A and B are shown apart, each in its own frame.
Chain A
Amino acid sequence: MKYRIVVLAKQVPDTRNVGKDAMKADGTVNRAALPAIFNPEDLNALEQALRIKDRFPGSEIIVLTMGPFRAAEIIRESLYRGADRGYLITDRKFAGSDTLATSYAISLAVKKLEPYHFVISGRQAIDGDTAQVGPQTAEKLHLPQVTYAEDILDIEKDSVTIKRRIEMGVEIVKSTLPVAITVHGSAPSCRARLAKLVMKYKHARTITELQEETKDYTDLYSHRPYLQIDEWTVADLNADAEMLGLSGSPTKVKKIENVVLAHKESTRLTADDKDVEWLMQELISRHVIG
C-alpha cells in the first residue's frame, strides 16, 4: 500500500525565547527580534508522516504551509528531512485571518491534493496556542479527527490505530481513512536533516524568492523541477475572498492593552541571613505558614 500524507506546518515566532529585547518600549512585540521557527509540534507531525513512509515505501509526503514568503523555509526544512514536496499558501488577502479563515484556505489546498489518506498537523502553534486549525480543517474536509496523537500504532489497508495522549491518560482509537490527525508534543521528535537531502534541496525556491535573488527560474525549474516550490494564491485555490482575511474572520480584536501592574506595597529584602530569618518569623507569626 502507498499512502498520500498531507502535513500542515506553520512558521511561528519563537515565543519560548521571548527575551527583554523582544518587547518594544511601547509594550508591543518586536517580531523582528524573535527568530522564526518551525512550530515545534509540527515537527512531531512531520515525523509521524515520515514513519508512515518508512513503513510503506513509495508513500508521498506533501507539506502545506500558509504564511508570508519567508515561510518557504518550512518547506525546505521538511524536504531536508524527507518530505517529497510542498506548497506555500501565500497571498496578501490572507492577512488577518483567524483560525476559521485559515482552516478554510488550508482545506481548499488539501482538496487540491486528493486523493489523500492522512492530513497530519501539530496539536497547536506556539504563537497562540489555540489548537483550532487542525479540528477546523478536519471539519471543512468532512474528515474524522483524532487529536493529541502520540503514536500511530498500526495501519491496515484503510484503517489506522492511534495512541492519543489525553489529560487523564491514554486512549487507543481506530479510524477509517482518510483521517485528520493532530500530533501532541509528547510524540517522538523529528529526525535530523539528511545531508544527502540538504544537498539535493538547498536550492529549492519559490518564484518570489528567485525573483528577489534575481535568478532565472525558468532555467532552474526546467532542469531540476523538484527545486520548484509552488506558491498557491487565493486564485489558485478558487477561494471566496469574503471568507478570507479580516472579512472571513468572525473573531476581531477589540483592543490590546498593556497591563499596567498595580504596584503593590511590597517589602523589599536582601539575601542576608537576617532578612531571610525575619521573613520566616513574619510568616510564622502571621500564620501564613506553620
Chain B
Amino acid sequence: MNNIFVYCEVSEEKSISDVSLELLSKGRKLANELGVKLEAIVLGDKIENLEGNLYPYGVDVIHYADDKRLFPFLTLPHSTLLIDLFKKEKPEVVLFGATSIGRDIAPRIASALRCGLTADCTSLEIGDHFENRTQKEYKSLLYQIRPAFGGNIIATIINPDTRPQMATVREGVMKKEIVNPNYKGKLKSIDAKGLLKDEDFIVQIIERHIEKSKVNIKNAGIIVSGGYGVGSRENFKMLYDLAEVLGADVGATRAAVDAGFEDHERQIGQTGVTVRPKLYIACGISGAVQHRAGMDQSAQIISINTDPNAPINFIADYTIIGNVNDIIPKMIKYYKKNSK
C-alpha cells in the first residue's frame, strides 16, 4: 500500500499552520494503522527549521519546494506541483486543511486526478467495505465521516476504486500531538523551477491585507454560546456580559450567524470552529449534529433551553429549562454574589 500525504499550509509567519500539524498527527495514526509512511508536502519560500518542526510529528518524508513565487499561496502553481507529485507518488490518502487555501486547491486536484474528495470531515477512520453489487471486498479504506445535511445524520463516505482518497478537515478537529521529539525523516526537494511554467502565474496578487483574527475561541477555557433562541443581536449582549464576569469567550450557532446575531468568526460546528473548553454554556441552542460536531468534547456542558426535549439537553451535564433572557441575568447575579 502507498503512503499518506498531508498538504502543509504555510502561515503568514512562514511556519507550518496549526491545522496542518493537526493533520500530520492524525496522518501518523492512520499511517501506523495501515503500516505505511507519512509524507508532508510544503510549498513555500525559505521556511525556517522545517525539518526540526515537522519530524517530531512522525513525518517520514518532507517534499519541499523552496521558491519565492510559492508564497503567498496561488492556486495554479501549487496545483501544478501537487498534481505532478501525486502522479509520481500515487498516494493512498491525501489530507488538506478545510481552510481558504485547502478548500480552494483540493477540489482542483481531485478534478485533475479524477478522485474523490470529502469536505469538512469530523472524523477519519480505517475500515473495510464489501460492495454488494459487485461482490467485491475492499480492505483498509479511509472512512471519511461527516455530518450530512439535515438533522441527526452522520454519513460515512468512501472512495473504493480511485486513489488518492482525499479529505479536508477543519482546524481544531484533530489533536496536535508530537509523537517523538527525536523522530527523523528525510527531505526531498521538489524542482519548482523546472516544473512551473509562465501560464501558472496568470493570476497575480496585487495587494494583501492580512489581519490576525481578534477572535480566538478555539483556545477558550469557557465559552458562552448563543443560538437562534437568543432572539436578537441585542440579546446577544447579555451573553457578552456573562462572558465578561466568567472570563469566557462568546460563540454562536450557524442559525444565529445567519440571522445576523453574531459574526461568522464565532460560529462553532462542522463548518465553523471546533472547541474543547472546560465549560460550554449553550443558550437557546437546539443541538443539531453539525453544531455538536464542534463542541461535544467540551468537559462540562450547560444547556439553557425552553424545550425540555432539545437534543442538546441529552449531552449536557446541567440543563436549565427556561428562557435565556431570564436566566442569564440571574447567572450573572448569583455568580457575583457567590464568588469572592
Residues on A lying within 8 angstroms of B by beta carbon are 13, 15-16, 18, 22-23, 27-29, 34, 98-100, 103, 127-136, 138-140, 144-148, 161, 166-176, 179, 249-259, 261-264, 266-271, 273, 275-277, 279-281, 283-284, 288-290
* CB-nearest residue of chain A to B74: A173
Q: Are A22 and B314 in contact (CB under 8 A)?
A: no
Q: Are B151 and A27 in contact (CB under 8 A)?
A: yes
Q: Are A266 and B314 in contact (CB under 8 A)?
A: yes
Q: Does B88 contact A (CB under 8 A)?
A: no
Shortest distance from the beta carbon of B153 to any chain A beta carbon, whole Å: 6
Q: Does B5 contact A (CB under 8 A)?
A: no
Q: Does B12 contact A (CB under 8 A)?
A: yes
Q: Are B271 and A256 in contact (CB under 8 A)?
A: no
Q: Are B205 and A253 in contact (CB under 8 A)?
A: no
Chain B hits for A281, CB < 8 A: 334, 338
Q: Are A276 and B143 in contact (CB under 8 A)?
A: no
Q: Does B107 contact A (CB under 8 A)?
A: yes
Interchain CA distance A267-B149 in the complex, whole Å:
31
Interchain CA distance A267-B300 in the complex, whole Å:
12
For B95-117 the 0/1 string (1 means CB < 8 A from A) is 00001100111111011101111
Q: Does B139 contact A (CB under 8 A)?
A: no
3 nearest A-B pairs in the assembled complex, by CB-CB distance: A271-B322, A250-B116, A29-B150
Query: Which of B176-206 touch A at CB < 8 Å?
Result: 202-206
Q: Does B119 contact A (CB under 8 A)?
A: yes
Shortest distance from the beta carbon of A283 to any chain B beta carbon, whole Å: 7
Q: Does B53 contact A (CB under 8 A)?
A: no
The listed residue (B103, B313, B320) touching A271 by CB distance below 8 A is: B320
Q: Are B153 and A258 in contact (CB under 8 A)?
A: yes
Interchain CA distance A283-B330 in the complex, whole Å:
14
Q: Does B152 contact A (CB under 8 A)?
A: yes
Interchain CA distance A99-B117 in the complex, whole Å:
9
* CB-nearest residue of chain A to B208: A171
Q: Are A131 and B119 in contact (CB under 8 A)?
A: yes
* CB-nearest residue of chain B to A148: B100
Chain A hits for B220, CB < 8 A: none
Interchain CA distance A16-B288 in the complex, whole Å:
12
Shortest distance from the beta carbon of A260 to any chain B beta carbon, whole Å: 9
Interchain CA distance A283-B154 in the complex, whole Å:
33
Chain A hits for B116, CB < 8 A: 98, 100, 249-251
For B205-234 the 0/1 string (1 means CB < 8 A from A) is 111111111000000001000000000000
